[in-house]
Amino acid sequence: MLPNIYLPETTQEFIHRINRLVGNEVPLWGKMNVGQMFSHCCLPYQQILGENTDRPGLVMRVLMQWFFRKSMTNDQPYRKNLPTGPTFIRTGTHDVNEERQRLIVYLKAIEELGPERLSEIPSLSLGKLSPEEWSNMLYKHLDHHLRQFGA
């Protein structure tokens, strides 16, 4: 069972891991740098909060809902080097400290939102999710990328 993203101690553990990264770490896999990774990790929260409404195309949404939903929302960690959806790819320069602070604000916002209110917001890729599915997916995604940089 994965840690619950709605609990303050999970948020604090993530913040501790985020703050361990200074920005010059080399990824253990993948192509992103730390600033790009922080920006990438902000995207799900931006979608939840309505700040970003970029949706995958219809074909990709159907594939995600029918074939990838379970692996995205279960309690098994993501494998290394999984492909990144086009709307989640981050290139260019992203200020590490600005992106770090945005990510921390988003983590606290989701904790405050809580399981009931979050489950009322459909995922732009997967549709309606239970509180546990949201928690698993958000936890797995951020944990995956923090592990990518050794945090």
Predicted confidence (pLDDT) per residue in 17-30, tens digit: 999 999 999 999 99
Work out the number of other CB atoms within 10 angstroms of the CB of residue 139. Answer: 18
Asked if 23 and 84 count as a contact pair (C-beta separation under 8 A), the reply is no
CB contact at 8 A, 133 and 2: no
Domains and CATH numbers, the chain: 8-148 (1.20.120)
Indicate whether 81 pLDDT > 90.
no
Residue 58 φ/ψ, nearest 5 degrees: -55, -45
pTM over 0.85: yes
The rounded distance, in Å, linking the Cα atoms of 32 and 12 is 24
CB 137 within 8 A of CB 119: no
Phi-psi bin for 114: left (phi > 0), alpha (psi -120 to 50), beta? left
CB 42 within 8 A of CB 103: yes
For 84-106, the pLDDT digits (tens) are: 777 787 889 999 999 999 999 99
